[in-house]
Chain A
Amino acid sequence: MGVHVKTTVNGDEVEFTCAEDEVLLDVLRNRLGLTGAKEGCGTGDCGACSVILDGRLVCSCLVLGAEMQGKKVETIEGMAVGQKLHPLQQHFIDGAALQCGVCTPGFLMAADALLRKNPNPTEEEIRFGLAGNLCRCTGYDKIVRAVQAAAKEMRG
């Protein structure tokens, strides 16, 4: 029973053994202690568990841990560099783009994935880029504004 996997998480090589039917989200949370990704639905409908897998934004609840052999996973825990917050993180705080904060890690991963592909998105591109992430507190207003501000800063 179980699958032994070697993979890279936030640049660190990690090894774990998981059940064959265990999803990446549970591996991250229960085996690797990375609880930044949240289970809001477990069915890919809320985006709270978003991580970046080999450069693509995915819901970690819809990926098996067993599939992770030799992959590169990026999670919210790897977003800041040392003490330096990523501009998106800083603008989310400064712009009050979070209230309860439970969706925030997922939004930050999605926004990061968006800006890597499109450093200068329109408001509409931001809104559709983040449409896979549900937020119930903010009405998305300050989230979109924070992404705009971060994108501007990152473009220099």
Chain B
Amino acid sequence: MRYVQPGTAKEAATLLAKEKGKAFVLAGGTDLLVKMKAGMEEPDLVVDIKAIKGIKDIKKSASGFVIGAAVPCAALGENKDLVKAWPGVVEGASLIGSKQVQGRCTMAGNLCNASPAADSVPGLVAAGAKVVLTSAKGSRKLAVEAVLAGVGRTNLKKGEFVTAIELPKKEARSGDAYLRFIPRTEMDIAVVSCAVNLTIDGKGVITKARVALGAVAITVLLVKEAAAAIIGTKLDDVAKKKLVAACSAACKPIDDKRGTVEFRTEVAGVLARRAAETAYARAGGK
């Protein structure tokens, strides 16, 4: 295996494009190194992107936030503006692994690892976040949900990698929230998870919503029916019931060591309801 630490994104992309063997991007490494330890991956090339200028920065702009691909999740929670604007996104990113893992892991890595249970992804999907993909030829943007192709698979092309995640500007009277279910209080992979992002009008009626579910299908799901169930409501009991039903209906989970189909299907609805309540309150709804 070769280890390189290029100074520019273009250089990194070129190295990735040229490699004939198995090439991996190293940001936090908290997934890659585990796979290497288990013998599941034997890279020929590891491109450490952390020396790329600006890739460890969080930038606030008029159009929102640009979060460099190598920003460790622990840094997200330390950025007061980000926490204020996107508490649900930060909640999701702050639940990955332990404090130790938080010091290393990145949202970009969490996304590109393409686990259906990735904690930071539902929040990003609900927020309508985009990724910036860089290749030797230039860059393009893609909605976060469009990055995911399946378990462990992304739609990234060879030689292309995520350099940043863009979060839109927080709308007035909006709020987001993320909840996951784990058997313990920490350290587990989500058995099922849900993020809700919604906006209300001056009367407390939901005008916009995005609902994303994790660990209930081969990728994180953006559930339009769930959003539709609460748009136009004040998140009353009927709306919540419809939301729960829509979320459970959208689930296509599996039985595995972490949970059963029945459990995931049922708890997806429970979490959606609870996350929606939190998001609604954060938006200023009563």
Contact = CB atoms under 8 A, between A and B. Distances in A.
Interface of A: 3, 20-21, 23, 42-45, 47, 50, 53, 56-59, 61-64, 66-67, 69, 110, 113-114, 128-129, 131-133
Contact of A63 (B5, B29, B36, B37): B29
A140 to B, nearest CB: 12
A110 B101 CA distance: 12
Nearest to A67: B48
B26 A47 contact: no
A62 B34 contact: yes
Given A42-B37, A45-B187, A56-B103, A132 B50 contact: no
A20 B99 contact: no
16 contacts: A42-B37, A43-B34, A44-B34, A44-B100, A56-B72, A56-B104, A58-B100, A59-B100, A59-B104, A62-B101, A63-B33, A64-B29, A67-B48, A110-B99, A114-B99, A129-B99
Given A50-B100, A62-B30, A132-B186, 5 more contacts: A3-B3, A44-B33, A62-B101, A64-B33, A64-B48
Contacts of A50: 100
A42 B26 CA distance: 18
Given A44-B97, A57-B100, A131 B185 contact: yes
A133 B36 CA distance: 22
Contact of B99 (A45, A69, A132): A132
Interface string B158-196: 000000000000000000000000000111000000000
A113 B33 contact: no
Nearest to B29: A62
Contacts of A42: 37
A53 B100 CA distance: 10
Given A64-B3, A64-B33, A132-B186, A56 B74 contact: yes
Contacts, number: 90
B35 to A, nearest CB: 10
Contact of B33 (A61, A69, A128): A61
B42 to A, nearest CB: 9
Q: Give the 9 A-B CB pairs with smallest separation, nearest first.
A: A132-B98, A131-B186, A56-B103, A20-B3, A59-B100, A66-B3, A58-B103, A132-B100, A20-B1
Nearest to A69: B5
B137 to A, nearest CB: 28
A40 B187 CA distance: 15
Contacts of A128: 185-186
Interface residues of B, number: 29
A42 B50 CA distance: 23
A104 to B, nearest CB: 16
B226 interface: no
Interface in B130-169: none
B18 interface: no
A64 B32 CA distance: 11
B33 A110 contact: no
Nearest to A65: B3
B2 interface: yes
A67 B100 contact: no
Interface in B66-102: 72, 74, 97-101
A146 to B, nearest CB: 18
B58 interface: no
A61 B97 CA distance: 14
Nearest to B78: A117
Contacts of B186: 128, 131-132
B99 A131 contact: yes
B185 A58 contact: no
Nearest to B45: A20
Given A66-B3, A132-B187, A53 B103 contact: yes
Contacts of B34: 43-44, 62
